[in-house]
């Protein structure tokens, strides 16, 4: 996601630190974050301390509508999908209602334990804007809340669920450092075609290295940060990444071929399952989709269907199509969008 954090609270560094820490956590996960503050303010100094990507505007000593206008004159369109601010403030609503940013969702973070999810606000002569309210909790939950807001704002709710290793990036065994992840040829082209076809991309991946203790969740976040960065260079923003950190011995319901990751994403984001697809390089990917009626395409990159559980799962599941690579899989989906849903696996 591309998010613009407004650090114009005017409060102390301590008061703004939880908000800034959220921005930093999302930045480290690979989201495109900009922290906007007035030069020399507590918010600007905090951004420097935390090494946040930031953009400062000159000190503005006017108030009210004139202040809003002055800020708007200094903000270039960052291509942001979300604008976040802290506390019950009217300035962001006035600012972004006055400017031609209909694609931008406003998100207000608050400290209360309970509150309305969204509300309508109107400031002065400005049009009312829907404001999404998100409570401070933990970075993981806040990330999911923001992904859900972004997902719904984009309109289309159909998804291609995509495996990671062997499908998006080369299968080189467990990836333990970000530099080992490289995007496969043709993936960018295929993702752009799906994006143009109004599909959003959700990555679903088994990462047993976490359960074995070979990889921490923080290290996994850094690896996924590189994935987001590399795909952003291809013009693609991933809607969400869902990972199973468990080993096979844990017998969880989220490790593919179980469909838990897909079902969790569907619940979080409001996905139209009947219009969605799965692309992967293993029979575990095929099983995760087909077991809940989602057509699944097997690519011949990575495992190419010869994964360790292939013999066991081939008797239960059959891919809707086999494709040479991700580009071919994407083309097949776009040609068969009206294809009837597959029969669930037994």
* Positions marked catalytic: 163, 165
| Cβ pair 332, 299 in contact under 8 A | no
Secondary structure string (H, E, C) spanning 246-296: CCHHHCCCCCCCCCHHHHHHHHHHCCCHHHCEEEECCHHHHHHHHCCCCCE
Angle (CA) 244 19 237, round 5°: 50
Residue 243 to residue 70: CA distance in whole angstroms:
44
Residues 6+ away with beta carbon under 8 Å from 28: 221, 222, 225
Phi, psi of 31 (to 5 degrees): -75, 155
Please return the burial class of 91, using the count of CB atoms within 10 Å of its CB with bins 0-12, 13-18 and 19+.
middle
């Amino acid at each position: 996601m591309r998010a613009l954090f407004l650090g114009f609270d005017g409060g102390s560094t301590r008061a703004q630190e939880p908000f800034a820490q959220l921005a930093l956590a999302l930045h480290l996960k690979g989201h495109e974050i900009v922290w906007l503050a007035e030069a020399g303010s507590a918010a600007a100094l905090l951004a420097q301390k935390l090494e946040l990507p930031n953009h400062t505007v000159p000190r503005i000593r006017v108030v009210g509508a004139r202040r809003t206008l002055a800020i708007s004159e200094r903000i270039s369109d960052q291509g942001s999908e979300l604008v976040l601010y802290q506390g019950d403030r009217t300035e962001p609503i006035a600012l972004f209602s006055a400017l031609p940013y209909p694609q931008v969702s406003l998100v207000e973070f608050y400290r209360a334990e309970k509150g309305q999810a969204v509300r309508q606000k109107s400031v002065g002569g400005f049009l009312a804007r829907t404001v999404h309210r998100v409570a401070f909790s933990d970075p993981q939950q806040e990330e999911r809340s923001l992904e859900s807001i972004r997902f719904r704002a984009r309109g289309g709710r159909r998804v291609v669920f995509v495996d990671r290793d062997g499908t998006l990036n080369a299968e080189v065994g467990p990836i333990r450092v970000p530099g080992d992840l490289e995007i496969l040829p043709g993936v960018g082209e295929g993702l752009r075609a799906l994006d143009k076809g109004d599909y959003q991309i959700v990555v679903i991946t088994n990462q047993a290295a976490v359960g074995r203790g070979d990889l921490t969740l923080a290290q996994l976040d850094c690896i996924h940060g590189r994935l987001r960065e590399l795909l952003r260079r291809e013009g693609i923003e991933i809607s969400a990444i869902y990972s199973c950190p468990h080993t096979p011995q844990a017998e969880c319901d989220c490790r593919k071929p179980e469909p838990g990751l897909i079902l969790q994403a569907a619940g979080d984001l409001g996905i139209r399952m009947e219009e969605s697809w799965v692309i992967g390089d293993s029979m575990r990917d095929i099983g995760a989709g087909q077991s809940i009626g989602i057509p699944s395409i097997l690519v011949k990159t990575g495992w190419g269907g010869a994964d360790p559980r292939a013999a066991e799962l081939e008797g239960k599941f059959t891919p809707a199509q086999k494709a040479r690579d991700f580009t071919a899989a994407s083309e097949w989906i776009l040609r068969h969008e009206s294809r009837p849903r597959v029969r669930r696996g037994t």
